[in-house]
Structures are given as structure tokens and as C-alpha cells.
Amino acid sequence: MAVVTSFFAALLELAGVVLSLYVWILIVGAVLSWLTAFDVVNTRNRFVSLVGEFCYRVTEPALRPIRRFMPVVGGLDLSPMVLIFAIWFLQSFLRNLMASLFA
């Protein structure tokens, strides 16, 4: 039984790490989109283009459903922030679930 509990604890911990990494990708994508919109970075730069394309491809499937229901407020797209809050909620749920495994 201890092996199964340890396995699920490791899976939950890995899920938490992956979710944290995804939050950072969301933040990088949002900041890069602002820098591109204000013409601070050049999208013709190969590195900037690759990072922007990666962030877009990774985050857009999760952000698209949120954008369908949430209007743009004052020209700002708040869907990344909504998704980050949802991920934080999920991480808290996973931490509590892991704590209950060892209680």
C-alpha cells in the first residue's frame, strides 16, 4: 500500500511542477505579446519569433475557451490571468489532496 501511495504522491507532485511551468509559459507569452504590441522587440528576430510561436501554440488551446466567454476589458485580454488563477486553484487542490494521502 505504501508503494501505491508514494506513486500517487509523486504523480501529484509532478503535476504541480508541470502546472507551475505552464504558468511561467503563460507569463512569458503575455509579456512577449505586450513587448511586440509596443514594438519593443522585433518579431523578425528568429529567437523572438520561436519563443512567441512556442508560447502561442502551447497556451492558445487553453486560452481560446476562456476568450469565448470573457470579453476584452479596455483593450486588455485578461484570459491569461483567469487561467493562472484556475491553475493556482488546481495546484492548491492537488496539495491538499497530497496532504490527505499522508494524513
pTM of the predicted model, to two decimals? 0.90
pLDDT tens, 7-37? Answer: 988 999 999 999 999 999 999 999 999 999 8
Inter-residue contact 13 to 102 (CB < 8 Å) = no
Inter-residue contact 63 to 80 (CB < 8 Å) = yes
Q: What is the pLDDT of residue 1?
A: 62
**Closest Cα partner for 59 from 90, 33, 89?**
33
58: left (phi over 0), alpha (psi -120 to 50) or beta: alpha
pLDDT tens, 41-96? Answer: 998 999 999 999 999 999 999 999 999 998 888 888 899 999 999 999 999 999 99
Range of the domain at 25: 2-101
Task: Tell me how many domains the chain contains.
Answer: 1
